[in-house]
């Protein structure tokens, strides 16, 4: 797949007889390189011969400096994975992140950007691909950067990797994957009933279209607050805000929105 800037989407492309790759829909030329195993020469307007085309390195031809850059990025991402306790017994996520970083390096995405931002963005993208319960703010807090700065790099990475189609990310984050993590932080001894009720509340929010256009942390905070109080677990709004990283206004808005739905009038007996 090749990204067409004219159509603003990834297309398969159509290869012409002269070797050029064109878009299937608008016909824009996406690649003009013709590959040959031997050098070829053409004459320019002055009648002088010059080399035609560009040299393409083989996949195995990786310089030592690039290899050191990849190894350093892998070590940094692995350290960040350990710090955030992502898959303590497996390095699958960091291996996926390394591949994302390698593709970004090949496309000069790392140029002009801080390495820790690119590494964190790659690791967060790998967590999203594997449905790991981690938010972008978890990564920004770990590397001590503004979450909006990291989010900007993450979105740019999605465009470079062709994971964003027509300016929309391919899928929403399911808030339910964060419930167990937030509950363990809120209630260290754990509470399966609170987790189950919170997931049911999130499912109800999704049916009422509350998930659309809203961040998962706000929905999780409201669901946990309602579930905990319903089961007699005393938690304050300030504690919920601290755990899920939202402000009090956001939590209040989600609670009011849920109260206005049909499910908001139900009780545990119902």
Listed by start position, the domains of the chain span 1-35, 64-160, 175-265
Three state DSSP letters for 227-249? HHHHCCCCCCHHHHHHHHCCCHH
**9-13, 61-65, 137-141, 157-161: range with lowest mean pLDDT:** 61-65
Q: Domain 175-265 sits in which CATH superfamily?
A: Cyclin-like (1.10.472.10)
pLDDT interval class at 112 (50, 70, 90): confident
Q: Which residue has the higher pLDDT, 228 or 39?
A: 228
Is residue 268 predicted with pLDDT exceeding 70? no
Beta-sheet strands, E only, within 8-63:
9-11, 14-15, 21-22, 29-31, 41-43, 49-51
pLDDT interval class at 203 (50, 70, 90): confident
The 10s digit of each residue's pLDDT in 206-219 is: 888 887 778 888 88
pLDDT at 187: 85
pLDDT interval class at 165 (50, 70, 90): low
CA distances (Å), 143 to each of 29, 109, 190, 218, in order?
41, 19, 29, 23
Q: Which two tokens stand for residue 203?
A: 């499912």
* 175-265 shares the fold of 64-160: yes
pLDDT at 168: 45
pLDDT at 76: 92
Nearest by Cα to 174 from 212, 139, 143, 145? 212
pLDDT at 55: 58
Average confidence score pLDDT of the chain: 81
Q: What is the mean pLDDT of residues 121-146?
A: 88
- Model confidence pTM above 0.85: no
Beta-sheet strands, E only, within 32-175:
41-43, 49-51
pLDDT at 121: 92
The class (CATH top level) of 64-160 is: mainly alpha
């Amino acid at each position: 797949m090749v990204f067409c800037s004219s159509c603003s989407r990834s297309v398969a492309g159509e290869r012409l007889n002269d070797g050029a790759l064109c878009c299937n829909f608008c016909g824009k030329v996406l690649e003009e390189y013709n590959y040959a195993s031997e050098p070829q020469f053409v004459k320019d307007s002055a009648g002088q011969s010059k080399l035609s085309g560009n040299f393409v390195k083989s996949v195995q031809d990786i310089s030592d400096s690039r290899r050191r850059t990849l190894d350093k990025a892998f070590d940094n991402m692995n350290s960040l994975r350990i710090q955030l306790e992502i898959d303590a017994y497996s390095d699958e996520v960091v291996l996926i992140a390394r591949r994302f970083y390698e593709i970004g390096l090949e496309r000069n995405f790392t140029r002009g950007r801080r390495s820790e931002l690119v590494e964190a963005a790659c690791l967060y993208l790998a967590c999203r691909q594997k449905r790991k319960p981690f938010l972008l703010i978890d990564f920004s807090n770990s590397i001590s950067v503004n979450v909006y700065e990291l989010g900007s790099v993450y979105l740019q990475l999605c465009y470079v990797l062709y994971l964003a189609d027509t300016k929309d990310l391919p899928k929403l984050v399911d808030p339910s994957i964060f419930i167990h993590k937030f509950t363990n932080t809120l209630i260290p001894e754990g509470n399966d009933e609170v987790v189950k009720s919170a997931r049911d509340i999130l499912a109800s929010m999704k049916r009422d279209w509350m998930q659309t256009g809203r961040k998962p942390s706000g929905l999780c905070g409201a669901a946990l607050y309602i579930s905990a109080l319903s089961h007699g677990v005393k938690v304050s709004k300030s504690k919920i805000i601290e755990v899920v990283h939202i402000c009090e206004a956001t939590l209040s808005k989600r609670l009011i929105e849920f109260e206005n739905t049909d499910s908001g009038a139900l009780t545990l007996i119902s």
